[in-house]
Amino acid sequence: MIHLSYTDLGLCALLVIACGGLLTLHHPALTRQLYGSALRCGLQLLLMGVWLSFIFTRQHWGWVALMSVIMLGAATLEAGRRQAVPLQAAWRYGLALMSMGTAALSMTVLVVVALLQADPWYSPRYFLPLLGMLLGNCLTGVSMGMDHFNRQVWQQQAQLEWRLALGMTATEAIQPMYRQSLEAALRPTFNMLVSAGVISLPGMMTGQILAGAAPMEAVKYQLMIMLLLAVCTSVGIMLALSACRRLLFDERQRLDLHRLQPPGS
């Protein structure tokens, strides 16, 4: 395994600075975003490395649980912010927490217990990296799905009312928007699956090969991860959209948008 030094990372940082200089010629505001995002990424990863090193030496379920709660909380906050027509705060964050937590935690436990057979099953070396990967992809899908769905409902209120007036049930009236939002949210996941191996080498596989793992062993792990990502993201999106669909109608199947906040509010 070839070990990277902090000097090597510094050279990568110089490339980012040079890229920012070029970007300034086209869009100066994006340069600040690039530098800020890169700095935040570096600090977060360094802090995570220190924190994980500490947790790995303890091997206690309490630390794993604490880290899982922090990761899930951060993902919930981020998903709630990515909404143009958001639900009220309690519902918005509650749905994100429920959908991502259910999907990511259940898949992580399944993998470490049934597939990897880690001992103990909560071993931080396996549990936390898997949970992080699943949460990251689930976050993107859930936030995209909820944003697309709520915007569609807000923009097509009259059409929904018209369908209900024709005698459709709430589920039938909103089904086209549900399917469109599900398709939009899952498209990045499908693109990831079809491009892997031919157009791109996924990050985990590349990292394992660079670290000295046999190519076929790296392929097996990467395939396992990508299939899990697809399942976890799909389940999370379906849970979130199904809950959103129920919240936007009252008990008499009338459209009720009081839980939605107008754009820009």
Domain ranges of the chain: 1-58, 64-247
| pLDDT of 80 over the 90 cut | no
> Rounded to whole angstroms, how far apart are CA atoms 145 and 183?
8
Environment class of 91 (CB within 10 Å of its CB; exposed 0-12, middle 13-18, buried 19+): middle
What the block records as the tokens of 168 is 């459709």
Q: Mean pLDDT score of the chain, rounded to an integer?
A: 87
Q: Answer whether 34's CB lies under 8 Å from 20's CB.
A: yes
**What's the rounded Cα separation, in Å, for the pair 15 and 21?**
10
Residues 6+ away with beta carbon under 8 Å from 256: 248, 249, 250
Predicted TM-score of the model (pTM): 0.84
What is the per-residue pLDDT across 85-132, written as a single tens digit (0 to 9) for each?
A: 778 888 889 999 999 999 999 999 999 999 888 888 888 888 998 999
